[in-house]
Amino acid sequence: MEKKRIVEGIERYLKVKHGVKLKDAKDYEIFNALSLTILEEIVDDWNETSDTYNRGRMAYYLSAEYLMGRALGNNLINLGLYDEVKEVLAELKIDLNRIEEIEEDAGLGNGGLGRLAACFVESAATLNMPLVGYGIRYSNGLFKQNIENGFQTECEDTWLKFGEAWSIRKDDEIQIIKFSDMTVKAVPYDVPIIGYKTKNINTLRLWQCEALREFDFNLFNNQQYIEAVSARNKAEDISRVLYPNDTAEAGKILRLRQQYFFSSASMKDIIKKHKTKFGSDFSEFAKNNVAQLNDTHPTISILEFMRILVDEENVEFVSALAIAKEFFGYTNHTILAEALEKWDIRLIERLFPRLLQIAYEIDDALMNELRQKGYDEGEIWNFRIVANNQIRMANLAIYVSRAVNGVAALHTEILKKVELNNWYNLYPNKFQNKTNGITPRRWLRLCNSELSEFITDLLGNEDWVKDLSLLKNLEEYSDDDQVLKTLMEIKREKKVQLAEFIKQEEGIIIDPDSFFDIQIKRLHEYKRQLLNALYILDLYYRIKENPDLDIPKTTFIFGAKAFPGYRRAKGIVKFINEIARLIDRDEQASKKIKVVFVHNYRVSYAQKLFPGSDLSKQISTAGKEASGTGNMKFMLNATPTFGTYDGANIEIVEASGEENNYIFGLKVEDIEKIKHDYDPKEYYHQNESIKRVVDTLINGTLDDGGTGYFEDLYNALIEERDQYYLLADFELFKEAQGKVFEDYKDKKKWAKKCFANLYSSGVFSSDRTIKQYSDEIWNIKPASVE
């Protein structure tokens, strides 16, 4: 792109969008103008990509969340314009990094499921795969997290406050969505998904909910102002917040409305596109289209798809069900019961009674099939889609989908052998594994330019960015002292940058020469942030007893959001912050260890934390973490894993070697053996270290501000049988951490572990995952824009 055109574009959009000249423009105005300049440049390729894809078989990815992060830097990297734009802005006395920092993270996702979806759509674009993403355009995301007096507090995430340059509103493609008690508009906003070094620009279509009428003029005229806009507010609530708190019925209804809203809009959109090409003939619908359900949130799509085909397109029910069975695929992301959604029949009946009728009909079809296969009524009960006054969304998804996949080898085996064993025995050919992956563009090329340049220098080109398996060629340097030295210099540079960022964001000073031990992920009991905290508290007491304890100076860094209605998770946030305060006030301990809980953990923060790490903490209870992708991002940034034998940790260790990582704790089979006889009180009474740290929850050592949080955590461990086995794994954790500290003293040995993780990480590219989905489930082929 010519430099002159970049400057002219920025000046033009500053003028028409903000009414200012460059010399007077604020950073966010420059961000908007630059983004729109780039968007203008790619629109023709974007339209051409859509036309190209429409000529062949299409895949659609349905996800309630897309944790996209910031767009500008990633898009410039993928377009090959980053250095050019940086140079142009520098000539204008503008720092591109400063402009990147002004961009808000898109408030469209929360955890690994949403970040995976973001990686997938980017990889599909990079591979020229005809994949369109569908989701919701949340106006206020999940929430913005602050830490006040050690407590998590939440406020609205105003990510759209400066506008949003990277999407185009498509008013001519609005869909009308009907609930039994209200009718709303689904307005599509299309986001360009830019592949790396390709002309293909894929689409993420996000639906925003709006009222049919802006306000009721007659009510307004009668001076009933609140009532006049109530319909608008009620509609906008549907796409206001990701995962609204559903501890009360009103929240459950809103969540259900959300799921139906985006599922219905997406189904209508896909069917409309099909009819534009093929008319009302649905006989070959599944030959031309395939949809992937990202977990159970979009599963109501199946019922809506059936409703549209049967009621609006006059397709026979049996034919419609056969089409649906070829059209849908289902990704299971968890074995946790609370995530396998079940909806009360009365709520479904209240909002969309016709869908309930269809659910019963699909349930009948399944029951008939099972009876014909000789299943007795007792066995059949577990398969039922409608049972116990609930619709079981996972059962619906499994029965109707062409394929059911887990997201890591262990996870898929647990689904097949335990959690979904009855389904696996019924449909063994449906079950597949698709180990998750991450995009190397954002998670190395963008967030760690120093390491990226070093890799490119060693390999002689940048081909690895599009083919991560090429990193394996770095192995020949694994004994090269200069290479190892340079790697560790880069890692220290990234730690300095992280320390500066934490000082700026948190007002906390940390030592970049200390050991950075990092646990960043969603806050949930099974992820065991509490186990890490109990270990740190034990380490504090050991330092008090022996101030000369031989450990490297260590900074323990946590980042995590607890759901607003998840009391116990919020208690863990407070507990970690109380430990941080205890250590900071202690002259002895604070010389050796420090604890930092960073606020509002998000993609842009993660892009600083992964490259600035010494150790990746992945300590979920074995069998509970489906995959994890944070573990892969650490690995890609040359960081050893400290973790349980769980999720993708197993495959990470297989790839890079157990000697280059730290695996501890009970395995799935160990838990299976002890779970009926497990008594945490035995560990509590027999191990003084455990008793000492657990007692801080109730003896007044640490203060929870009278909330009862800490007593609740105590009860979870001692009175409620410690269901995530923290106490059983405590000593094994301590032993493994001791080995980490011992190994870290040998600088060359440590550098070799880091380097081994880097050169072994190629298999965890989301490009590989998407290729497997494309070949083995979706049957789609690359279609390149020339």
Distance (Å, rounded) from C-alpha 329 to C-alpha 229?
40
Dist. CA 288–CA 295, nearest whole Å:
23
The token pair at 497 is: 């940058």
Burial class for 552, CB neighbours closer than 10 Å (0-12, 13-18, 19+): middle
For this structure, is 411 an active site residue? no
Contact 197, 80 (CB under 8 A): yes
Task: From the candidates 70, 522, 594, 768, give the one annotated as an active-site residue.
Answer: 522
- From the list 255, 333, 561, 753, the catalytic residue is 333
Active site residue 624: no
Residue with tokens 């203008």: 40
- Which residue in this structure is represented by tokens 């001519």? 172
Give me the phi and psi of 370, to 5 degrees please: -70, -40
Cα–Cα distance between 172 and 155 in angstroms, integer? 34
Instruction: Reply yes or no on whether 273 is catalytic.
Output: no
DSSP for 239-257 reads TTSSS---SSHHHHHHHHH
Examine the residue annotation and report whether 18 is marked as an active-site residue of this protein.
no
**Which of 633, 639, 641, 768 is an active site residue?**
633
Active-site residue, selected from the candidate residues 445, 527, 592, 753: 527
Q: Three-class SS of residue 199?
A: coil
Q: In whole angstroms, give the CA distance from residue 202 to residue 204.
A: 7
- Which residues does 123 contact at the CB level (< 8 Å), separation at least 6? 129, 437, 439, 765, 766, 767, 769, 770
d(CA 309, CA 324): 10
Residue 522: active-site member: yes
Is 667 one of the catalytic residues? no
Instruction: Find the catalytic residue in 137, 442, 521, 753.
Output: 521
Specify the residue for token string 């599944």: 286
Closest CA to 731 of 772, 786, 672, 682: 682
* C-beta neighbour count of 24 within 10 angstroms: 10
The 3 state secondary structure assigned to 480-536 is CHHHHHHHHHHHHHHHHHHHHHHHHHHCCCCCCCCEEEEEECCCCHHHCHHHHHHHH
In angstroms, rounded to a whole number, what is the distance separating the alpha carbons of residues 743 and 748?
Answer: 10
E-assigned strand segments in 581-718: 593-598, 615-618, 641-643, 662-663
- Per DSSP bridges, beta strands 662-663 and 641-643 are parallel
Choose the catalytic residue: 331, 629, 641, 696.
Answer: 629
Helix/strand/coil (H/E/C) assignment for every residue in 699-762:
CCCCCCCCCCHHHHHHHHHHCCCCCCCHHHHHHHHHHHHHHHHHHHCCHHHHHHHHHHHHHCHH
342-344 and 289-294 as β-strands: parallel, antiparallel, unpaired?
Answer: unpaired
Count other Cβ atoms within 10 Å, centred on residue 16. Answer: 10
For the annotated catalytic residues, the residue numbers are 333, 521-522, 527, 629, 633
